[in-house]
Amino acid sequence: MKLSEYFDKADGFGVLSTADTSGKVNAAIYGRPHFIDEETITFIAADKLTHANLQANPYAVYIFKEAGHYEGRRLYITKLREEKDSPLIEEIRRKKYPEGEGKYKSGSKFLIYFRLDKVLPLIGDGQIK
């Protein structure tokens, strides 16, 4: 199964972990990745700590845990680029919230593109079932 299909079907929650240049780690709850293709994903970020860390250190890990059991994925990713207040943000949001619910608070938003470097299961370092 393609990773994009997995995220379309799986129910659960995710955490995006980043670190600054001195190694101080931050973890934040994030929605599912948005797939550009099977090697490129995006996340929408506010101008907060996660975004600041990614300005200094392009490496991150996204952990997704499926609801009800200990299955999921760990995505090791590298920032490629970002777009401030991209029109694509609203296009992505309309797919998830067609009625406009879940509006963002004010302030700039960033569409951050990542290269997918490695995918591991939630637990262990073996193959994904």
Lowest mean pLDDT among 61-70, 92-101, 106-115: 92-101
Q: Give every CB contact of residue 6 below 8 A, 6+ residues apart in sequence.
A: 73
Q: How many domains does the chain have?
A: 1
Would you state the pLDDT for residue 102?
Answer: 52
Q: What is the C-alpha separation between 6 and 125, in angstroms, rounded?
A: 19
For the segment 6-29, the average pLDDT, to the nearest whole number, is: 96
Domain-embedded: residue 116: yes
> For the whole model, what pTM was predicted?
0.88
Query: What range defines the domain where residue 54 resides?
Result: 3-121
> Which CATH number characterizes residue 102's domain?
2.30.110.10
- Alpha-carbon distance of 54 to 93, in angstroms, equals 22
Q: Is residue 19 part of a domain?
A: yes
Q: Give the model confidence (pLDDT) of 62-97 as tens digits.
A: 999 999 989 999 999 999 999 999 888 888 876 665
Do 97 and 30 contact (CB within 8 A), yes or no? no
Q: Report yes or no on 86 lying in a domain.
A: yes
